């Protein structure tokens, strides 16, 4: 893990010459995602579902877990993490018990204890198989996940209490039926509340925009969708909205 100063050089005020080496503390593990708290603390998720919290200077936050490290879940693998305005920690993770692969949402209070006001004792079961790094918290506090179930892409919206938001697509889930053999890989929200999702469909990169109720935005691309075919296998891996409203995608 590294910190960069404004010109793009390593920030020597962070940890040891700009680097904090998690590999010294976790054998055979990889970092999966990172998020910032309201106070600027750094929360790192290790894929075996350890959370590490650091202070702004890269030192351990000893007020969190066991001297800065907290094991939050067993027998699951984390894919994405987000922190809401109340500093509650939201984790998107897969559960592989008995060969059944399903995605779940877990919410923890800022000290790492389960938030029992969310879903069933802190867990909401999504009932789908794949949603890697596609988790956001909307400006209104609702939670949105994008992914795929088999080769069918979907977008799912959850209320703050962990229940499905039926104002979105009628059931809380929108299937991207116009995208055959598709995998949604990343999403973000525009300032006007619209959702933008990217991924791959029939080996072409797709971008689709949804309005508040989950319907496609007909003012975007061709009936809400843009496909990019460069002659190979293209996939939108991550997406961001620039300050001028333009959309940037890594592929």
Residue 170: what pLDDT? 95
pLDDT tens figures, 1-23 = 656 567 778 888 888 888 888 76
Q: Which of 9-23, 54-68, 188-202, 218-232 has the lowest mean pLDDT?
A: 9-23
Which pLDDT tens digit goes with each residue over 195-223?
A: 999 999 999 999 999 999 999 999 999 99
CATH of domain 1-127: 2.120.10.30
Question: What is the pLDDT, as a whole number, of residue 21?
Answer: 81
Only one residue has tokens 């960069």, namely 4
Q: Does the pLDDT value for residue 132 go beyond 80?
A: no
* 89, pLDDT greater than 90: yes
pLDDT (mean) for 89-112: 79
Reported pTM:
0.88
């Amino acid at each position: 893990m590294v910190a960069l100063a404004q010109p793009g050089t390593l920030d020597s005020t962070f940890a040891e010459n700009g680097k904090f080496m998690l590999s010294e503390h976790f054998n055979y593990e990889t970092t999966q995602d990172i998020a910032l708290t309201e106070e600027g603390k750094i929360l790192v998720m290790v894929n075996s579902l350890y959370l590490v919290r650091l202070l702004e200077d890269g030192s351990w936050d000893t007020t969190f877990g066991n001297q800065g490290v907290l094991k939050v879940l067993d027998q699951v693998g984390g894919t994405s993490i987000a922190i809401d305005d109340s500093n509650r920690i939201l984790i998107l993770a897969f559960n592989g018990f008995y060969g059944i692969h399903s995605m779940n949402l877990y919410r923890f209070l800022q000290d790492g204890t389960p938030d029992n006001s969310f879903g069933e004792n802190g867990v909401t079961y999504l009932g789908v198989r794949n949603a890697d790094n596609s988790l956001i918290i909307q400006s209104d506090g609702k939670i949105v996940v994008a992914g795929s179930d088999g080769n069918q892409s979907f977008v799912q919206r959850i209320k703050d209490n962990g229940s499905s938001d039926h104002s979105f697509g009628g059931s809380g889930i929108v299937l991207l039926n116009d995208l055959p053999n598709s995998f949604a890989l990343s999403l973000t929200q525009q300032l006007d509340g619209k959702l933008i999702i990217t991924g791959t469909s029939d080996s072409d990169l797709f971008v689709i925009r949804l309005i508040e109720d989950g319907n496609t935005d007909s003012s975007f691309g061709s009936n809400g969708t843009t496909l990019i075919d460069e002659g190979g296998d293209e996939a939108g891996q991550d997406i961001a909205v620039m300050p001028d409203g333009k959309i940037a995608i890594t592929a």
